[in-house]
Amino acid sequence: MIALFGGSFDPVHIGHIKIIEKAVKHYNLEKAKFIPAYQSKLKKDCHASAEHRVRMLELAIKNKPFLEISDYEIRTRNSYTINTINHFKKKLKQNPVFIIGTDALLELSSWKSPSELLKKTEFIIIKRNHDTETQIREYLTQKFPNTDSTKIHFLNLKTINISSTMIRHRIKKGKSIKHLVPPGVDEYVKENKLYI
C-alpha cells in the first residue's frame, strides 16, 4: 500500500517527517509520497517557489528510500485532491491512502467532490492529543452520511509544536531553525535567502 501526503511544505519541517515515518511504520506501508502543492502566480499561498520547496523536500528525505516526492500537482498545476487521487489510482493500479491531519479534515466539506474522495480512497487521519476517534467519526457521519468507516484509519501522534508559519517567523527575526527542520534544509534556506 502506498500513501500520499499533500501540503505546501513551505518549508518542510521535522513534524512532517515524523508524521509520515510513523504512518509508514504503523501501517506497514510500501512507501509514502510527498505531494507538494502547486503555487499559482495569482495567489500568495506559498512563500517559496515550487522549485525551492521540492529541493528542500529532497534534502529532507535523503537516505530514506521509503519516502518519495511527486511533482504531479506542480507540473499539472492541479489544486484538487480528487484529481490527484484519480491520477495515482490509475498510475499505481491500486487505491492510494491519503494522510491528512484533523485540522484539514474539518475543512473537507469545502474541498472539490469530498463525497467522491471519501468513496475512492482510504484515509489515515493524524489525530492530535485532544481529538477523539468518536468525535471525528461523528463529524464525518454528519457531513458525509455514506462514509465507509472501514476506510478511515487513525494514527495517534503526540502534539508537535512546529509549523511552517512559525519557522518563517523565526527566520524573519533572525532566529535559528536548525532544530526544527531536517538536516540540510537550514543551510539551503540560508544559501537561497528564503523567507527573509
Q: What is the mean pLDDT of each run of 10 residues along the chain (196 residues)?
A: 95 95 95 88 72 97 96 93 95 92 88 92 86 88 91 85 94 96 97 96
Quote the pLDDT of residue 129: 67
Q: How far apart are CA 87 and CA 126, in angstroms?
A: 23
Quote the pLDDT of residue 44: 59
Q: How far apart are CA 173 and CA 184, in angstroms?
A: 20
Quote the pLDDT of residue 42: 39
Which domains does the chain show, CATH number per domain? Answer: 2-162 (3.40.50.620)
Distances (CA, A) of 72 to 34, 82, 172: 10, 13, 30
Q: How far apart are CA 100 and CA 90, in angstroms?
A: 21
Whether the CB-CB separation of 56 and 11 falls below 8 Å is answered with yes
